[in-house]
Structure 1
Amino acid sequence: MIDIEDLVVRRGGTDVLRGLSARIGEGEAVRVAGANGSGKSTLLSVLAGVTAPDAGRVTVAGRAPTDPAVRALRGHVQEPPPLYDHLTAGEQTAFTAAVWGVDARRLRERAEAFGLGDRLDVLVADLSLGQRKKLGYVCATAHDPRLVLLDEPFNGLDADAERAVRDDLARWRSEGRTLVVVSHADSSVADLVDTTLTVGADA
C-alpha cells in the first residue's frame, strides 16, 4: 500500500525527516512514533499529498500521493481538523457529502452518533475543541476510505466519542483497511496497531 524510500523533508534548512525508508502493507495498522518535532505529522502530510518531499520517493497504492486516484481511497484525520468556521456543523457535513458524493443524510446521522446532534445548527467557529475534533473525524472519513491517516485521533475526545472512533478503527482493521496512526502514547493505540514506525531526523 505505502512505499517510502530515502524520504527527506526539510523545514527552514533543517531536516525534519532524513533518509526514512519503510513499507506499509495493505491492511496493516501502524503507529508512527517519535519525539516532539521528529516529523510524525510531517510524514502524514507527505502521505496525504499536502507536503512534497525534498528528496526520496513515496508511493501510495503504486502512485504519487498527489495523484487524484489516491485521494479517493485516502482519509486524513488532521490535528487540528480543517473545517470552515463560517459554516454550521450541519452545513459542513452537507458540503463534505457533496464533495465526496455520499449520502448527506447518512453523514448527518453519523455526526449525530458522535454526539453532535444538538450542535448541527451551531457555527463551526463556536464549537468546542472536542466538538470540532469529532466533526473533523466524521468529515475526513465520510467516503469510507481504504487508507486512513490519523494524527492524534483521541486528543480532545470525550469517552463516548473515543469509543466510537475505536469501534471504527477495529471495524476497518477487520475489513483489511490500512491505518497509519500518529500517537504520543503507545498505550492509547496498542490494541489497534500491528507495529510501530519510529521517525526522526536520523530514522
Structure 2
Amino acid sequence: MRVTVTAPNSAPAIAIEHLQVRRGGRQVLQDISLTVPRGSITGLLGPSGCGKTTLMRCMVGTQLVESGSVRVLGEDAGSPGLRRRVGYVTQAPSIYDDLTVTDNVAYFGALYGCSYDDVETAIAAVGLSSHAGNRGNQLSGGQRTRASLACALVADPELLVLDEPTVGLDPVLRADLWEQFHELARGGRTLIVSSHVMDEAEHCDKLLLMREGRLLAQLSPDELRSDTGESSLENAFLALIRMGEEL
C-alpha cells in the first residue's frame, strides 16, 4: 500500500470541542470534547445506542451538529480538502453485489483518479487478491468487510474511520482484521475503530469510552486498568461507570 506520510506533526488528527448533536428532539451527543493522536489506533467503545456511530459521522462530516467544533487533519470536518484524506467504512458493507471486488474498488478509485495499480495494491492490502474476480454476492461476510475496507483504502487516506468493522465475524477473522489495522497504523495512518466488545480495546493505543451520549474517559487500556484497579477491561469499564454514578 502506498504511504504518503508527511513530516511529523504534533497536532492531533482529530480535535473535538463541546460537541452537541440533537436528533428528533433527543440529545444524542452531550458536550463531547476529545483529541485523537496521529499515527495511532483509537478505539471508540461503548454499548449499542450510546452515540458511537453519530460521533463518527461527525468526524467524517456527514452529521449535522447543534453546536461545538470538529477539526480533522487541521480542517473543519467535511471540508472538500478532506475527501481524499479520510476513509470511512460503515457498519454495512459498502460494495455492489453484482460487481467483482476489482470493479468495486476501481469504482471508488475512479472518484479520486486512482490508477489500476492503486486498485490492485488496495485489494492486496486486505488479503483479497485471490478473490479479486469474485462478485460481491459470492463473498463471505468477512470478505465483504475486507472489500469495503479496500474501497476506503484505494485513495490512500491519512485517516480511517471504521464503524464496528468486526461485528459478526468469527475470532480468526477478527484477529486477521486487527493485524491489518496495526499494519496500517505502522505505516503512519490514524485509525478510529468503534466496537461494543470490550476485549477489542486490548488492540488499541487509546480508548474513547462512551455511555448514553457522553464521553466517560479518554485513556489507554493500561490507564483504564490502573484507574479502576481491574485487570479485565470489561470489568474496568463497568467500574468506570459506577465511579461516574457515585459522583
Structure 2 partner of 1:82: 94
CA–CA distance in 1 between the matches of 2:121 and 2:185? 23
Maintained 8 Å contact 1:81/1:136: yes
Highest Rg: 1 or 2?
2
Partner amino acid for 2:208?
L
Aligned amino acid, residue 138 of structure 1 = A
Residue 179 of structure 1 and its aligned partner are, at CA, apart by 1.5
Aligned to 2:76: 64
CA contact (8 A) 1:7 1:58 kept: yes
- What is the rounded CA distance, in whole Å, between the counterparts of 2:188 and 2:120 in structure 1? 26
Q: Secondary structure at the match of 1:82?
A: coil
In structure 2, do the counterparts of structure 1 residues 28 and 131 end up closer, same or farther at CA, with 3 Å as the change threshold? closer
- Alignment pair present for 1:114 and 2:127: yes
Q: Map of 1:7-156 to 2, 5 A cutoff? A: 7-108=19-120, 110-111=122-123, 114-115=127-128, 117-118=130-131, 120-122=133-135, 124-125=136-137, 127-156=139-168
Q: Relative to structure 2, which stretch is displaced further, 125-134 or 72-81?
A: 125-134
TM-score, normalised on structure 1? 0.85
The gaps in structure 1 that reach 5 residues or longer are: none
Q: Distance in 1 between matches of 2:131 and 2:184?
A: 28
* Alignment check: 8 A CA contact 2:101 2:131 kept: no
- Rate the CA distance shift 1:44–1:12 in 2: closer, same or farther, 3 A: same
Number of matched residues? 201
User: Conserved in 2, the CA contact under 8 Å of 1:7 and 1:20?
Assistant: yes
The higher relative CO (CA closer than 8 Å, separation ≥ 6) is in: 1
Q: Is the contact between residue 134 and residue 157 of structure 1 (CA under 8 Å) also seen in structure 2? A: no
Letter of the structure 1 residue corresponding to residue 116 of structure 2: A
Counterpart code for 1:196: L
CA distance in 2, matches of 1:159, 1:104: 33
CA contact (8 A) 2:118 2:154 kept: no
Deviation at 1:175, TM superposition (A): 3.3
Identity of aligned residues (%): 31
Q: Name the TM-score, length of structure 2 as normaliser.
A: 0.71
Between 157-166 and 75-84, report the one with greater CA deviation.
157-166
- Aligned to 1:100, the other structure's residue is in SS state coil
2:57 partner amino acid: S
| 8 Å contact kept, 1:88–1:121 | yes
